[in-house]
Amino acid sequence: MMKFDDILNIGTTVFVDLHNEFIGFGENLADITLLPSFWDITSSLVNGIFGATISFDFNPDTIADFNLEEDNLSVFIFDETTNKWKALPSTIDMNNDTISFITSHFSRYAIGASKWKDINDNLKIKKKLRKYNPKTNIRTAEVKIKTLHKEELSGDLRLIVTNIDKEGVFLLNNTGTTTDGMPYIKIEDVSGKHLKIPLEFQLPIKEEKIKEKHKKEDKNDTHKFKKFEFDVVVQQLI
């Protein structure tokens, strides 16, 4: 679907050619995953003097086949000047399986996602459990990240939580889940050498309660009875 900001003049032509094939052009294909189809849009309009909102349909099964997460999808435009694909700000409608974007320049477009790379080796990571709330059975935690070298953190990151060693504990404030079922928190537009990420874990609810004597002995440290360990993997968009 295509909707222009202004009414087009009589005689204006717009052509949309859908190619259902694997994409083999573009210098940065190793850094992104594109679905096997692209739209070639041409028009009699002069690029830069119009505005249009375009929506493309996608198949969730195809997204899964390519090990992509729907919330990480973007529309990519092919820049003929640099011979590279560039991600555009995109809006995903998961209820209708569509992705839309705004443009003033027609070219070739595809749906895909940038790849993530692990950057743990370049970071100093500290994990610490925080307060436990007996009313909600939620325990907070904090992950502090610091770069080991001069380079600063930049762009979009995600913190994947793995290897929780207590059965029934799960991350509550995750923003998504990887294709292999690991919860993650996505942090956008990161900058600087330090980063602090708050976590919330839901603990399993047990029928038995902590004994009253424990409350009296350590009423401000109830969370000591709710210990667990977890690992994290920090990734950055290529």
Instruction: Render 38-74 in DSSP notation, one character per residue.
Output: EEEEEESSPTTS--EEEEEE--HHHHHHTT--GGG-E
The tens digit of pLDDT for each residue in 61-104 reads: 999 999 898 888 999 999 999 999 999 999 999 999 999 999 99
Same domain, 134 and 88: no
Sign (positive/negative) of CA torsion 212, 214, 220, 224? Answer: negative
The C-alpha atoms of residue 116 and residue 216 are separated, in whole angstroms, by: 48
Give the pLDDT means over successive 10-residue stretches in the chain (238 positions).
92 95 96 97 92 96 91 94 96 96 96 95 96 94 94 93 94 91 93 95 70 48 71 94
Let me know whether 171 and 81 are in one domain: no
138-147 and 32-34 beta bridge pairing: unpaired
pTM of the complete model: 0.74
Residue 160: which of 148, 178, 145, 147 has the closest Cα? 178
Phi-psi region of 139 (alpha: psi -120 to 50; beta: other; left: phi over 0): beta
CATH of the domain at 228: 2.60.40
Domain boundary among 84, 114, 144: 114
63, 92, 114: which is the final residue of a domain?
Answer: 114
Domain span at residue 173 reads 118-237
Question: 164, 170 in Cβ contact below 8 A?
Answer: yes
Whether residue 69 sits in one domain with residue 56: yes
Q: Which two tokens stand for residue 156?
A: 């979009």
Same domain for 40 and 106, yes or no, is yes
Mark whether 127 and 224 lie in a shared domain.
yes
Last residue of a domain, one of 47, 81, 114: 114
In terms of domains, do 131 and 45 share one?
Answer: no
Strand partners, 236: 117, 157
Note whether 108 and 181 are same-domain residues: no
**Cα–Cα distance, 101 to 52 (Å, whole number):** 8
Structural domains in the chain (count) = 2
